[in-house]
Amino acid sequence: VKKLHKRHAREGRPVARAAVLGAGTMGGGIAFTSALRGVPVRMKDIAQPALDLGLAEADKQLARQVKSGRLQPEKAQAVRASITAQLDEAGFGELDCVIEAIVENLEVKRRVLAALEGSTRADTVIASNTSSLRIDDIAQPLARPENFVGMHFFNPVPVMPLVEVIRGSRTSPQAVSTAVAYAAAMGKVPIVVQDGPGFLVNRILTPYVNAFVQLVADGADFEQVDRAMEAFGWPMGPAYLQDVVGMDVGAHVFDVIAAGYPERIRPVERNAIRALVATGRFGQKTGGGFYDYQ
Protein backbone atom coordinates (compact mmCIF):
# COMPACT_ATOMS: atom_id res chain seq x y z
CA VAL A 1 0.00 0.00 0.00
CA LYS A 2 2.85 2.36 0.91
CA LYS A 3 4.44 1.71 -2.52
CA LEU A 4 1.15 2.50 -4.22
CA HIS A 5 0.76 5.72 -2.26
CA LYS A 6 4.32 6.73 -3.20
CA ARG A 7 3.52 6.20 -6.87
CA HIS A 8 0.39 8.36 -6.59
CA ALA A 9 2.38 11.00 -4.70
CA ARG A 10 4.86 11.05 -7.62
CA GLU A 11 2.21 11.14 -10.32
CA GLY A 12 -0.29 13.50 -8.67
CA ARG A 13 0.03 17.24 -8.18
CA PRO A 14 0.88 18.20 -4.61
CA VAL A 15 -2.01 19.96 -2.88
CA ALA A 16 -0.76 23.04 -1.04
CA ARG A 17 -3.99 25.05 -0.96
CA ALA A 18 -7.52 23.68 -0.89
CA ALA A 19 -11.16 24.58 -0.36
CA VAL A 20 -14.30 22.80 0.71
CA LEU A 21 -17.75 23.72 -0.59
CA GLY A 22 -20.27 23.15 2.20
CA ALA A 23 -19.39 23.70 5.87
CA GLY A 24 -21.72 20.99 7.17
CA THR A 25 -21.06 17.69 8.92
CA MET A 26 -18.59 16.54 6.26
CA GLY A 27 -17.20 19.85 4.93
CA GLY A 28 -16.36 21.01 8.46
CA GLY A 29 -14.62 17.71 9.25
CA ILE A 30 -12.67 17.66 5.97
CA ALA A 31 -11.54 21.28 6.42
CA PHE A 32 -10.33 20.55 9.96
CA THR A 33 -8.50 17.36 8.94
CA SER A 34 -6.77 19.05 6.00
CA ALA A 35 -5.69 22.06 8.08
CA LEU A 36 -4.43 19.80 10.88
CA ARG A 37 -2.16 18.08 8.34
CA GLY A 38 -0.77 21.40 7.09
CA VAL A 39 -2.93 22.18 4.05
CA PRO A 40 -4.79 25.49 4.55
CA VAL A 41 -8.45 25.44 3.59
CA ARG A 42 -10.99 27.97 2.40
CA MET A 43 -14.44 26.88 3.56
CA LYS A 44 -17.32 28.14 1.43
CA ASP A 45 -21.03 27.91 2.18
CA ILE A 46 -24.16 29.75 1.08
CA ALA A 47 -25.12 31.15 4.49
CA GLN A 48 -23.18 32.70 7.38
CA PRO A 49 -24.83 30.49 10.07
CA ALA A 50 -23.62 27.41 8.18
CA LEU A 51 -20.06 28.80 8.07
CA ASP A 52 -20.27 29.57 11.79
CA LEU A 53 -21.24 25.93 12.45
CA GLY A 54 -18.30 24.69 10.35
CA LEU A 55 -15.87 26.92 12.28
CA ALA A 56 -17.42 25.87 15.61
CA GLU A 57 -16.82 22.23 14.60
CA ALA A 58 -13.15 23.04 13.89
CA ASP A 59 -12.86 24.73 17.31
CA LYS A 60 -14.43 21.68 18.98
CA GLN A 61 -12.06 19.30 17.21
CA LEU A 62 -9.01 21.44 18.07
CA ALA A 63 -10.07 21.61 21.74
CA ARG A 64 -10.35 17.80 21.69
CA GLN A 65 -6.79 17.51 20.32
CA VAL A 66 -5.37 19.97 22.84
CA LYS A 67 -7.18 18.34 25.76
CA SER A 68 -5.84 14.90 24.85
CA GLY A 69 -2.29 16.33 24.64
CA ARG A 70 -1.94 15.52 20.93
CA LEU A 71 -1.59 19.17 19.95
CA GLN A 72 0.16 22.13 21.59
CA PRO A 73 -2.13 25.18 22.06
CA GLU A 74 0.14 27.35 19.82
CA LYS A 75 -0.04 24.76 17.03
CA ALA A 76 -3.82 24.62 17.48
CA GLN A 77 -4.02 28.38 16.95
CA ALA A 78 -1.98 28.10 13.76
CA VAL A 79 -4.21 25.30 12.47
CA ARG A 80 -7.32 27.36 13.27
CA ALA A 81 -5.88 30.40 11.46
CA SER A 82 -5.39 28.27 8.35
CA ILE A 83 -9.15 27.63 8.06
CA THR A 84 -10.90 30.63 6.56
CA ALA A 85 -14.60 31.01 5.87
CA GLN A 86 -16.24 32.78 2.95
CA LEU A 87 -19.55 33.14 1.13
CA ASP A 88 -18.03 33.73 -2.32
CA GLU A 89 -15.31 32.09 -4.40
CA ALA A 90 -12.71 34.84 -4.00
CA GLY A 91 -9.17 33.41 -4.13
CA PHE A 92 -10.29 30.13 -5.71
CA GLY A 93 -7.86 30.78 -8.59
CA GLU A 94 -4.95 29.84 -6.30
CA LEU A 95 -6.28 26.40 -5.29
CA ASP A 96 -4.87 22.99 -6.17
CA CYS A 97 -7.98 21.10 -5.07
CA VAL A 98 -11.60 21.85 -4.14
CA ILE A 99 -13.69 19.23 -2.33
CA GLU A 100 -17.43 19.60 -2.74
CA ALA A 101 -19.55 18.50 0.25
CA ILE A 102 -22.98 20.03 -0.38
CA VAL A 103 -26.41 18.40 -0.53
CA GLU A 104 -26.67 14.90 -2.09
CA ASN A 105 -28.70 16.08 -5.08
CA LEU A 106 -27.54 15.45 -8.65
CA GLU A 107 -28.97 18.63 -10.19
CA VAL A 108 -27.62 20.89 -7.42
CA LYS A 109 -24.16 19.32 -7.55
CA ARG A 110 -24.04 19.63 -11.36
CA ARG A 111 -25.04 23.30 -11.24
CA VAL A 112 -22.65 24.24 -8.43
CA LEU A 113 -19.66 22.34 -9.88
CA ALA A 114 -20.14 23.69 -13.41
CA ALA A 115 -20.13 27.23 -11.95
CA LEU A 116 -17.08 26.39 -9.81
CA GLU A 117 -15.03 25.61 -12.94
CA GLY A 118 -15.31 29.33 -13.78
CA SER A 119 -13.51 30.34 -10.55
CA THR A 120 -10.75 27.72 -10.53
CA ARG A 121 -7.60 27.18 -12.61
CA ALA A 122 -7.59 24.79 -15.57
CA ASP A 123 -5.50 22.32 -13.52
CA THR A 124 -7.41 22.50 -10.22
CA VAL A 125 -8.67 19.06 -9.19
CA ILE A 126 -12.34 19.16 -8.25
CA ALA A 127 -13.46 16.32 -5.99
CA SER A 128 -16.95 15.38 -4.84
CA ASN A 129 -17.60 13.84 -1.44
CA THR A 130 -20.81 12.33 -2.81
CA SER A 131 -21.97 9.23 -0.92
CA SER A 132 -23.75 7.56 -3.77
CA LEU A 133 -24.10 9.56 -7.01
CA ARG A 134 -22.11 8.30 -10.00
CA ILE A 135 -19.10 10.50 -10.78
CA ASP A 136 -19.92 10.21 -14.51
CA ASP A 137 -23.45 11.51 -13.85
CA ILE A 138 -22.22 14.53 -11.86
CA ALA A 139 -19.49 15.22 -14.48
CA GLN A 140 -21.94 15.39 -17.36
CA PRO A 141 -22.08 19.24 -17.69
CA LEU A 142 -18.43 19.85 -16.74
CA ALA A 143 -16.02 21.49 -19.17
CA ARG A 144 -13.02 19.71 -17.59
CA PRO A 145 -14.26 16.23 -16.56
CA GLU A 146 -10.64 14.99 -16.60
CA ASN A 147 -10.03 17.03 -13.42
CA PHE A 148 -13.09 15.65 -11.64
CA VAL A 149 -12.86 12.74 -9.20
CA GLY A 150 -14.74 11.30 -6.21
CA MET A 151 -13.26 11.62 -2.71
CA HIS A 152 -15.66 9.89 -0.36
CA PHE A 153 -14.81 10.49 3.29
CA PHE A 154 -16.60 8.84 6.22
CA ASN A 155 -18.22 10.37 9.25
CA PRO A 156 -16.80 11.48 11.68
CA VAL A 157 -14.05 12.56 9.30
CA PRO A 158 -11.29 13.19 11.89
CA VAL A 159 -11.37 9.56 13.08
CA MET A 160 -12.58 7.43 10.17
CA PRO A 161 -9.51 6.31 8.16
CA LEU A 162 -11.09 5.27 4.84
CA VAL A 163 -11.43 7.51 1.77
CA GLU A 164 -12.90 6.01 -1.40
CA VAL A 165 -11.29 7.70 -4.42
CA ILE A 166 -13.67 7.22 -7.34
CA ARG A 167 -12.39 7.20 -10.90
CA GLY A 168 -15.00 8.33 -13.42
CA SER A 169 -14.64 7.18 -17.04
CA ARG A 170 -13.24 10.59 -18.02
CA THR A 171 -11.15 11.23 -14.87
CA SER A 172 -7.43 11.56 -15.69
CA PRO A 173 -4.89 9.30 -13.95
CA GLN A 174 -3.25 12.48 -12.61
CA ALA A 175 -6.46 13.63 -10.91
CA VAL A 176 -6.84 10.16 -9.31
CA SER A 177 -3.23 10.32 -8.10
CA THR A 178 -3.71 13.84 -6.73
CA ALA A 179 -6.78 12.72 -4.76
CA VAL A 180 -5.02 9.59 -3.42
CA ALA A 181 -1.94 11.60 -2.42
CA TYR A 182 -4.00 14.36 -0.76
CA ALA A 183 -6.06 11.81 1.21
CA ALA A 184 -2.85 10.05 2.32
CA ALA A 185 -1.35 13.41 3.31
CA MET A 186 -4.45 13.91 5.50
CA GLY A 187 -3.54 10.67 7.30
CA LYS A 188 -6.28 8.66 5.60
CA VAL A 189 -6.33 5.24 3.95
CA PRO A 190 -7.36 5.91 0.33
CA ILE A 191 -8.60 3.14 -1.94
CA VAL A 192 -9.41 3.60 -5.63
CA VAL A 193 -12.84 2.24 -6.52
CA GLN A 194 -14.94 2.03 -9.65
CA ASP A 195 -17.76 4.41 -10.40
CA GLY A 196 -21.31 3.18 -9.76
CA PRO A 197 -24.17 4.05 -7.36
CA GLY A 198 -22.86 3.75 -3.77
CA PHE A 199 -19.30 2.79 -4.83
CA LEU A 200 -18.11 0.10 -2.39
CA VAL A 201 -18.99 0.84 1.25
CA ASN A 202 -22.49 2.25 0.76
CA ARG A 203 -23.44 -0.76 -1.36
CA ILE A 204 -22.85 -2.78 1.80
CA LEU A 205 -24.19 -0.26 4.31
CA THR A 206 -27.47 0.55 2.52
CA PRO A 207 -28.93 -3.00 2.57
CA TYR A 208 -27.95 -3.15 6.26
CA VAL A 209 -29.82 0.07 7.05
CA ASN A 210 -32.77 -1.16 4.96
CA ALA A 211 -32.83 -4.38 7.00
CA PHE A 212 -32.88 -2.23 10.15
CA VAL A 213 -35.90 -0.16 9.03
CA GLN A 214 -37.59 -3.42 8.02
CA LEU A 215 -37.04 -4.75 11.56
CA VAL A 216 -38.52 -1.59 13.08
CA ALA A 217 -41.49 -1.75 10.66
CA ASP A 218 -41.98 -5.33 11.86
CA GLY A 219 -42.23 -4.01 15.44
CA ALA A 220 -38.67 -4.12 16.81
CA ASP A 221 -37.62 -1.42 19.28
CA PHE A 222 -34.78 0.64 17.74
CA GLU A 223 -32.94 1.02 21.05
CA GLN A 224 -32.93 -2.74 21.54
CA VAL A 225 -31.59 -3.21 18.03
CA ASP A 226 -28.78 -0.74 18.81
CA ARG A 227 -27.92 -2.49 22.08
CA ALA A 228 -27.88 -5.85 20.27
CA MET A 229 -25.54 -4.63 17.52
CA GLU A 230 -23.22 -3.01 20.08
CA ALA A 231 -23.10 -6.27 22.07
CA PHE A 232 -22.49 -8.05 18.77
CA GLY A 233 -19.32 -5.94 18.58
CA TRP A 234 -20.08 -3.09 16.20
CA PRO A 235 -19.06 0.37 17.39
CA MET A 236 -22.58 1.79 17.14
CA GLY A 237 -26.03 0.46 16.30
CA PRO A 238 -27.94 1.40 13.12
CA ALA A 239 -30.30 3.96 14.75
CA TYR A 240 -27.44 5.88 16.36
CA LEU A 241 -25.47 5.63 13.11
CA GLN A 242 -28.36 7.27 11.24
CA ASP A 243 -28.34 10.08 13.80
CA VAL A 244 -24.61 10.58 13.15
CA VAL A 245 -24.96 10.45 9.35
CA GLY A 246 -28.08 12.65 9.19
CA MET A 247 -31.53 11.31 8.31
CA ASP A 248 -31.84 13.60 5.25
CA VAL A 249 -28.48 12.47 3.88
CA GLY A 250 -29.29 8.80 4.59
CA ALA A 251 -32.64 9.08 2.76
CA HIS A 252 -31.00 10.66 -0.33
CA VAL A 253 -28.32 7.97 -0.39
CA PHE A 254 -30.93 5.25 -0.02
CA ASP A 255 -32.97 6.59 -2.95
CA VAL A 256 -29.94 6.75 -5.26
CA ILE A 257 -28.83 3.21 -4.41
CA ALA A 258 -32.33 1.72 -4.53
CA ALA A 259 -32.81 3.30 -8.00
CA GLY A 260 -29.36 2.01 -9.06
CA TYR A 261 -30.03 -1.61 -8.05
CA PRO A 262 -33.84 -2.05 -8.21
CA GLU A 263 -33.49 -5.81 -8.58
CA ARG A 264 -31.48 -6.06 -5.35
CA ILE A 265 -33.03 -3.57 -2.92
CA ARG A 266 -36.70 -3.66 -2.00
CA PRO A 267 -37.39 -0.39 -0.18
CA VAL A 268 -39.58 -0.27 2.91
CA GLU A 269 -41.81 2.62 1.85
CA ARG A 270 -43.25 3.65 5.22
CA ASN A 271 -40.16 3.56 7.33
CA ALA A 272 -38.80 5.16 10.50
CA ILE A 273 -36.14 7.21 8.67
CA ARG A 274 -38.64 8.78 6.25
CA ALA A 275 -40.98 9.52 9.17
CA LEU A 276 -38.15 11.34 10.99
CA VAL A 277 -37.21 13.30 7.84
CA ALA A 278 -40.83 14.45 7.57
CA THR A 279 -40.74 15.86 11.11
CA GLY A 280 -37.36 17.60 10.63
CA ARG A 281 -35.57 15.31 13.10
CA PHE A 282 -32.44 14.84 10.99
CA GLY A 283 -30.23 13.49 13.80
CA GLN A 284 -27.38 14.99 15.83
CA LYS A 285 -27.07 18.06 13.59
CA THR A 286 -30.65 19.16 14.40
CA GLY A 287 -30.53 18.14 18.09
CA GLY A 288 -32.63 15.00 17.65
CA GLY A 289 -33.29 11.98 15.48
CA PHE A 290 -33.92 8.52 16.86
CA TYR A 291 -32.40 9.91 20.09
CA ASP A 292 -32.42 13.39 21.68
CA TYR A 293 -29.23 15.46 21.94
CA GLN A 294 -30.47 18.65 23.64
Contacting residues toward ligand CAA, per CB under 6 A: 61, 64, 68, 131, 154-156, 158-160, 202, 205, 235-236, 241, 245, 249, 253
Which of 43, 139, 175, 245 is the binder for ligand NAD (CB under 6 A)? 245
Kindly write out the interface string for residues 127-156 of this chain, putting x where it contacts ligand NAD by CB under 6 A and - elsewhere: --xxx--------------------xxxx-
Indicate which residue of 5, 8, 152, 252 is catalytic: 152
Which partner in ligand NAD, ligand CAA, none is near 235 (CB below 5 to 8 A by kind)? ligand CAA
Q: What is the 3-state secondary structure (H, E, C) of the chain?
A: CHHHHHHHHHHCCCCCCEEEECCCHHHHHHHHHHHHCCCCEEEECCCHHHHHHHHHHHHHHHHHHHHCCCCCHHHHHHHHHCEEEECCCCCHHHCCEEEECCCCCHHHHHHHHHHHCCCCCCCCEEEECCCCCCHHHHHCCCCCHHHEEEEEECCCCCCCCEEEEEECCCCCHHHHHHHHHHHHHCCCEEEEEECCCCCCHHHHHHHHHHHHHHHHHCCCCHHHHHHHHHHHCCCCCHHHHHHHHCHHHHHHHHHHHHHHCCCCCCCCCCCHHHHHHHCCCCEHHHCECCCECC
- Cβ at position 21, least distance to ligand NAD in Å: 4
**C-beta of 95 vs 245, nearer to ligand CAA:** 245
Active site residue 152: yes
Query: Which listed range, 102-110, 167-175, 191-199, 268-276, lies at the site for ligand NAD (CB under 6 A)?
Result: 102-110
- Interface with ligand NAD includes 164 (CB under 6 A)? no
State the residues that interact with ligand NAD by CB under 6 A.
21-27, 44-47, 50, 101-104, 112, 129-131, 152-155, 245-246, 249, 253, 285
